[in-house]
Amino acid sequence: MSASLNSGLFDSRLPQGPRLDAHAWLDFERRQPQSLEELQARYGPMFTVWSEGRAPRVYVADPAALRQVFISHGTDLRAQGPSLFKDLIGRRSLAFQNGESHRRARHILGRALAAQDHRNQAEIIAGITRAQISRQRQIPLDAFTSDLTRKIIISLLFGEAAQSRCTQLPDQLERSMTSLHNRYSAELVGDRHQALWAHRAFTRARRALRETLLEEIKAARRAPSPSSILATLLDGSEGQDLSNEELRMHLMTLLVAGHETTSAALSWALLHATSQPHYVNKIREETWHQPVATYPTTPFLQAYCHEVLRHTSPVPNGHTRRTLRELNIAKYTFPSGTELCPCIHNLHHNHRLHQQPDHFRPERFLNAATNTDTYLPFGIGSRRCLGESLAMQELAIAVAITTHHPDLKIEAPETANPEKVSMGPTIRTPDSMILRT
């Protein structure tokens, strides 16, 4: 950790932790996995980070405290949502809602996702993955998984028949996400000129994406594509009562959540697979003669996907909440306005909870149910990811079909540093990694 992180107690009621100046905060954000582990080693599974101009933020990675804070006291906390995506998905979307409006939005989206035919979804995911592999010979790994997961979520949302109406949507989503990443990266290094340029590019891309989504919603109201999530959203009184703008925000929630984290997870899954060929052989042997829809339930592949999400969690922290009143929990008092953050990365890398946590070992999940107190890749409490089932299905099927390819390789140029991860809204594989088929 940077020497400019000066530790000390700044509110004796809160867990100990460092005080960060602006430079140290940027360093903390750029090096999140390492920073989080270093602070946990120094202060324990709960620590507070103070930074000028910010409310104190308490990172929580103790299983008992996580459950007590984010489940027992859920109504005393106000979710803040991922601030990076606020300008893209909308301030009135699910992630930024609280109370009754959050429950209603969660119910609407949850019902639409649960109503889908999983066998049909599996065939769509498999078909797109096969087509994506067949047209590639050499491509950056991150570009491969990003393009693949974009196409999958767009097809599931709008239906395969609607693809001819929104051919520009994948590129618009890519430009929006890329410019958002660029703005975030420029802000991290303090490059104001680059951040302004990226913000202008983002504004243009967001406007075009918004117009396309609204046009697709209007078309779907006239003739919804069967077996699509949008058709399910429009079905019934709740969907009919939603405005086009509300539908657009729901679609943006699913587009971003169904693409960003799944893309990062898939990149890590393929990188682990190609660096450990015996795991590729196990996945091939287990799935080769199985129907695609059963891939997510095959024991080793399921354990493999769980270990990917534990070992290299794409999202190091869950949704931050802010206390609405003073809370007394265990030996700490959290004043009103304190930020509480479930620290997923540290929970997954705690030596007391996971044997040899820095080792990639899918076997740890074989013949054992996942422990919801020590394994939280999809968050906790009322903010737990609604798309968990879809994400696991997509990850398993895409991993299996990609590893079925006999010549699959992932390589790095000799000058690349394979240990240098790419930081953004998610923790991604190094952008120098190349996929060859």
Q: Which residues belong to the annotated binding site for heme?
A: 385
Question: Is the Cα torsion angle 8, 11, 15, 17 positive or negative in sign?
Answer: negative
Q: Which residues contact 100 (CB under 8 A, 6 or more apart)?
A: none
Inter-axis angle of helices 260-275 and 141-158, to 10 degrees?
140
Burial class of residue 64 (count of CB atoms within 10 Å of its CB; 0-12, 13-18, 19+): exposed
Per-residue tokens: 115: 């109503």
Binding-site residues sit at 385
Sequence-ordered list of residues with C-beta below 8 angstroms from that of 16, at least 6 positions apart, any chain: 7, 8, 9, 43, 47, 48
Distances (CA, A) of 371 to 41, 310, 353, 364, 377: 23, 12, 10, 11, 11
What is the rounded distance in angstroms from the CA atom of residue 1 to the CA atom of residue 24? 9
Return d(Cα 346, Cα 66) in angstroms, integer. Answer: 12
| Spatial contact of 129 and 245, defined as CB atoms under 8 Å apart | no
Instruction: For residues 398 and 197, give the distance between their C-alpha atoms in angstroms, rounded to a whole number.
Output: 35
Q: What are 197-201's contacts with CB under 8 Å, separation 24+?
A: 201/175
In whole angstroms, how far apart are CA 85 and each of 96, 126, 154, 340? 10, 29, 18, 19
Q: Which residue has the tokens 């699509």?
A: 228
**Cβ pair 267, 428 in contact under 8 A:** yes
